[in-house]
Chain A
Amino acid sequence: MEPILTIRDLTKSFGTHKVLQGVDLDVHAGDVVSLIGASGSGKTTLLRCVDLLEQFDAGEIRLDGELMGYRLKDGRRLRLSGRELARQRSRMGMVFQSYNLFPHLTALRNVMLGLTKVRRLPASEARGIAEYWLDRVGLANRRDYYPSAISGGQQQRVAIARALAMEPRLLLLDEVTSALDPELVQEVLLTIRSLAEAGTTMLIVTHEMRFARQVSTRTVFMDHGAIVEEGDPAIILGKPNSRRLREFLSSMSN
């Protein structure tokens, strides 16, 4: 079966600092891939490149075979127009560390915005879909609340509903529990676990090793902008091959 997402030889630098040094990764339908590594290892940059929020220097990203962010003309890469980038982005969902809900809209309106403006659904239909997804993340009774009136965990669940309502081929999650108070982490992880059980394809940057082990079908360890080790989470987290992964795991457990 063709993978949903293929990343080939992706490189990116910020100035002279190489953040990604030739990353290759495949994500198949139903995969839940957890991306782990020390801060600065390039996990978040990789995720932002996939969602076309960051430009990359070389290599390619394909979603369902379609080249993302660029088209090729006479062997040269040309950046797509804003409108085409927007269309490609609408096929993926992204959830951010700091939720990034729109503060001037209620939970329901946050979820509806993409449905009415990007997918151009009539308001009544968009409302129905938004209500369904808010219900799915357990927030049916918070739909008319503004983001500032609900907890961080609830805001993050609204952000997940906002991403899923667009029916993305792939959901990208960027350290979605890192900004949460410890007692709110679990509700968000439970939400993600239920999505995984429902077959949602996800690429998850996380620091929650136990969660990575329990939920993901594959774990990828990155260090200094490259993938060092990947495989079944129970195996690579239980018996890491590389010294760097062993060091990283012991630094996490301290």
Chain B
Amino acid sequence: MQSFLDVLALSSDQLLHGLTITVAVSGVAVAAGIVLGALFGLALTYGSAVLAFPVRVIVDVVRGTPVLVLILACFYMPAGIGLSPGPLTAGALALTVFCASHIGETLRGALLAIPLAQTDAASAIGLTFAQTLGYVLVPQAIRQIAPNLVNTAVEIVKASSLLSAIGVGELLLTTQEIIGRSFKTMEFYALAGGIYLAINLLIATGGSWLERRYRLR
């Protein structure tokens, strides 16, 4: 019988590959989710009804659905219109939309919480609405939602483990494959759990550093 360390040495490349997929897919989902979420938030707050309503439907549906269901939907439903995204694409899309919906809703709340007097003051010096958004409102809102952004990023990393259900070879699926060969169940699940924890501690630490640096004074 092989020891845990023997198996680890043999499967370290595979594990590293799984970790890379987890980090990459989470990174893409968070980055794209921030961009899309910013658009969602602006549309929800300032968009005309024609723009705001469909975004509202997307955001509410996504936030009211379990992430796993969302992932399965993104994987299987495109077949209905003749598309067949691979599991990685479908998974990244699901996590992106999930991330964007949360950020969009949070951003809306933060923008609405900024006193109207700020918009008055910006208008009074001659800023256009777009400039007011870019230089006055959004910078204040971002500082307000920074803790939520960190939380959402952590949620995305954890949710990425659900991509194993559609066959994305990320950290959890890789771990399960190794367990299937070696029967070191406890050890490798513990290892995977430890790695997720480490990633998220890293995100939280980086986040609180950024928060301290850009705190709304």
Contacts and interface: CB of A to CB of B under 8 A. Distances in A.
Interface of A: 51-53, 82-83, 85-87, 89-94, 96, 98, 100-104, 113-114, 117-118, 146-149, 159, 162-163, 166
Contacts of A94: 120-121, 124
B117 A82 contact: no
Interface string B121-140: 11111111101000110011
Interface in B106-162: 115, 117-118, 120-129, 131, 135-136, 139-140, 143
A115 to B, nearest CB: 9
B9 to A, nearest CB: 51
Contacts of B127: 86, 113-114, 117-118
A94 B125 CA distance: 8
B117 A100 contact: yes
Interface of B: 115, 117-118, 120-129, 131, 135-136, 139-140, 143, 216-217
B129 A104 contact: no
Given A89-B123, A148-B217, A100 B118 contact: yes
B140 A113 contact: no
B136 A102 contact: yes
Contacts of B217: 103-104, 146-149
Given A102-B136, A148-B217, A96 B121 contact: yes
Contacts of A89: 123-126
A113 B127 CA distance: 9
B124 A104 contact: no
Contacts of B139: 104
Nearest to A146: B217
Nearest to A92: B124
Nearest to B140: A104
B117 A90 contact: no
A113 to B, nearest CB: 6
Contacts of B121: 94, 96, 100-102, 159
B126 A98 contact: no
A83 B130 CA distance: 10
Contacts of B117: 96, 98, 100
Contacts of A93: 124-125
A95 B56 CA distance: 37
A162 B126 CA distance: 12
A86 B124 contact: no
A102 B118 contact: yes
A134 to B, nearest CB: 15
Contacts of A104: 139-140, 143, 216-217
8 contacts: A85-B123, A86-B126, A89-B124, A93-B124, A98-B117, A104-B217, A113-B125, A148-B217
Given A53-B120, A86-B126, A104-B139, 11 more contacts: A51-B124, A82-B129, A83-B128, A96-B124, A100-B115, A103-B217, A104-B143, A114-B125, A147-B217, A148-B217, A162-B125
Nearest to B143: A104
A53 B136 contact: no
A86 B123 contact: yes
Given A82-B129, A83-B128, A146-B217, A53 B123 contact: yes
Contacts of B118: 100, 102
B125 A163 contact: yes
Contact of B124 (A83, A146, A163): A163
Contacts of B126: 86-87, 89-91, 114, 118, 166
A92 B124 CA distance: 8
Contacts of A87: 126
A118 B124 contact: no
